[in-house]
Every structure is written in C-alpha cells, then in structure tokens.
Amino acid sequence: MDKVRQIAGRSIPRHVAIIMDGNNRWAKRRLLPGVAGHKAGIDAVRAVIEVCAEAGVEVLTLFAFSSENWQRPADEVGALMDLFLSALKREARKLKENDIRLRIIGDRSRFHPELQAAMLQAETTTAECSGFVLQVAANYGGQWDIAQAARQLAEAASAGRLNPDEITPALFERHLATDGTPMPDLCIRTGGERRISNFLLWQLAYAELYFSDLFWPDFKHEAMKLALADFGNRQRRFGKTSEQVVREAQAEC
C-alpha cells in the first residue's frame, strides 16, 4: 500500500456504482443477437459482486435498465424483461445464502405485474441479510429520481407538514431512491464511453469516475480489482487542499 493510501485511509470505497455498458457491442462482434451479450453479462455481475464483497465494499449499485432504454427495439426490451425475471427467480436464494441484501430502485410502475411481484419477492427473501447490499437500478433515471424527491417535498410543504426553509441537501437525500445507503465513492463505466447517462445524478456529485474500454461481459475479477486499486491511489479532497487532507488524516492516526 503506497503512502497516499495509508495517509488518506480511504483505500476501499464504501459504495461502488457501475454503468454496465457494452453488452450489445460484445454480442455484435461475435455475430450474436443483442440479448446474448446481456446473458453473458450475468457472469460479470457475479464476478464483480465477489470482488467487492471480498474487498470490503458495503454497497454495489448496478445500472441494469435506464428510463431511456424503453426506446430500444421492442423485441430486445422484451428479451431483457424475460432475462430480468428469470434472474430474479434464480438468484434470490443464492443471494440470501451469501448474506447479500437485494434492493431495486427505480419506477416499477411500467413493469409487468409478474416482474413487479418477482422484484418484491426477491427483496423480501433477502431483507434480513446484512453482509453486503446489491442495489439494482431498473427503469431508473437520475432526473426522475430528483424529480420524485422534489415532488415528495413539495407535497409535504403544500400540506403544511414541512416548512420550505427546512429543506436541506441532507433532507433531500432522504427522499431519493438510494436513501439508506452511503453516497457512491466510485462510479465505473465499461464499454469505452465517457459519460454517466442520467445515472445517480445527485449521488455522484463527489464520486471518483473510472472508465474502462472493456465491454461489460469482459469486465471480470481482474478488471474490478484494477478499478479498486485505481481508486485506492486517488486522494479525495472534497474541496480542500491536498495539505489539509494529509494533516487531517495524520491527526486521526
């Protein structure tokens, strides 16, 4: 462990968020249908969970389906919904056996009732798990999340339950879909793109960004370890100078 990591004392992120990009391109390069890439990506999900849990990460949030993904071809969307449903039914027991709690964030109203029921059942099955939190963003968008939080606060203010002067960033965060989890420390995007695509817009305000050229199905154990190692070598200043960060860390020792 180098000096920066020892002094900073933050070598392992509490919360990692990942934009799992490149499934379709992975499949196309192999002359396979797009859904084949999403199926192959399940192995990458398992690998990343294993690495994060072993490293001591507390929360892993995966961007599984954005609010914009409904614009994709209907047959692809249908195949993704079928894959999501089968994965929920198949993996919930395994998650519980490994003490992993599943949370699903996003607007569920557009999903088929059977899929909504499977989401609730999987969450209920793992509700008592406390070792690790797997948070899946489905029909999620950062703008939607901010808007629904603002709507809740506006309704409370309109009903007289809340004084607008009482609205603070901390109060606002308690109305976001991610309430109950720490803000992400590290955001990873695979597939070679360099944008966050409406993912956790409020929550990523101070997250470290890491971009990988690997398509998601190829982002396995070693790739995840490299991302965590890169994070460990960064100094997070949160508006302070490097000297302030070092002095404060030394004072804590």
Q: Would you name the residues annotated as active-site residues? A: 21, 69
Rounded to the nearest 10°, the torsion over CA 106, 112, 118, 121 is: 70
Q: Can you tell me the distance from the alpha carbon of 91 to that of 166, in angstroms, rounded to the nearest whole number?
A: 42
Instruction: Tell me the backbone φ, ψ of residue 112, rounded to 5 degrees.
Output: -60, 145
- DSSP-based three-state secondary structure for 134: strand
End-to-end distance of the chain based on CA atoms, in angstroms? 16
Nearest residue to 138 (alpha-carbon basis) of 62, 83, 43: 62
